[in-house]
Chain A
Amino acid sequence: MKLGKKRPPAAEADLTPMIDMTFQLIAFFMVLINFSQSEQNDKVTLPTSELAKPVDTPIDFPIIVHLTSEDAVVIGGDKIALESIASRLLPEISLLKLENKTAGDATIIIRCHKDAPGGRVQDLINRCQESDLGFRNFALRVKEEI
């Protein structure tokens, strides 16, 4: 009588907990990832303030303007001179008009490098207030002091 040889059971690692953990990690990073490039600029180091807190209610029509230490103005990734900022802001005003809003309803959020001259911020505000643009609301963005 010939009996069949018993094969040893194949050694298989239980992958289920590892896959569970991996999916948890992916979900965590997906929730936290920030694809928004318009709010970030590597050349701008914001000053810190102990009073910096995220706003409770989001700003309706924010337009983020970066002012680098080299006096460059960056809007939506486009580097422009302060003198020609109107060419970049007029399309934004056109978009506002499509929603029956004006430049006065938007808020210019200024992200200025900490070592840039403060007078440049004044220049920027002055330019945005001129009659062809007409922005009225301005906010200075700062980083939380840790």
Chain B
Amino acid sequence: MEFRHRGDRDERNELPMTSMIDVVFLLLVFFIMTFKISAQEGDFNVKMPKPGEGVASESTDLSLKLRLTADDTGQLSEIVLNDNLSFAKDWGAVRAKIVEMVGDEAGPSDEDGPEVEIDLDYNLHYIHVIEAITAVTGYRTGDDVVKLIDRIKFAPRR
């Protein structure tokens, strides 16, 4: 009579997992350390006449001129539209005027739609240039974007 189990019945073929888990955790730590959460980025297309040029595009049916002046520190001091409408620093008012002038139902036309020429002081901080482009390009209503003017042009530099 034999009570003892045979040893070879209990033997299981186990793969050594330790080294794999070590490597997997190293990989995990690497990816966690290098992971960077960043906001989405987008582009605004712009044009600029070559030095010496500086005339408005012939194909546009409405050409607006936005003059941005800066103080000594590069901050925005005044916004003037078409040389006669001053908006102080109120981008909301600029956008409302653009909506009034071009409408916001048809949307922009790539070929012959309205065009904005941005004329800025040299030392004006770039963030204000983007504020200007944002104000004339469109606005958000919830998740939707209402486009106003797509054609943005820089005036020759001052």
CA distance A51 to B117 in the complex (A): 19
From DSSP, what is the main secondary structure of chain B's interface residues? mixed
Q: Is B157 an interface residue (CB 8 A)?
A: yes
Instruction: Name 5 interchain pairs, CB-CB below 8 A, sorted by A.
Output: A4-B3, A23-B24, A126-B157, A142-B42, A143-B41
* A100-146 interface with B by 8 A CB criterion: 109, 112-123, 125-126, 129, 137-144, 146
Contact of A117 with B125 in the complex, beta carbons under 8 Å? yes
Q: Is B80 an interface residue (CB 8 A)?
A: no
Q: Is B55 an interface residue (CB 8 A)?
A: no
From DSSP, what is the main secondary structure of chain A's interface residues? mixed
Contact of A138 with B124 in the complex, beta carbons under 8 Å? no
Is the interface on chain A under 10, 10 to 19, 20 to 34, or 35 or more residues? 35 or more
Please name all residues of chain A whose beta carbon is closer than 8 Å to the beta carbon of B68 when the two chains form the complex: 118
CB distance from A72 to the nearest CB of B (A): 14
Contact of A142 with B3 in the complex, beta carbons under 8 Å? no
Contact of B43 with A140 in the complex, beta carbons under 8 Å? yes
Q: Is A47 an interface residue (CB 8 A)?
A: yes
Q: Is A19 an interface residue (CB 8 A)?
A: yes
Most buried by B among A1, A67, A144: A144
Contact of B140 with A129 in the complex, beta carbons under 8 Å? no
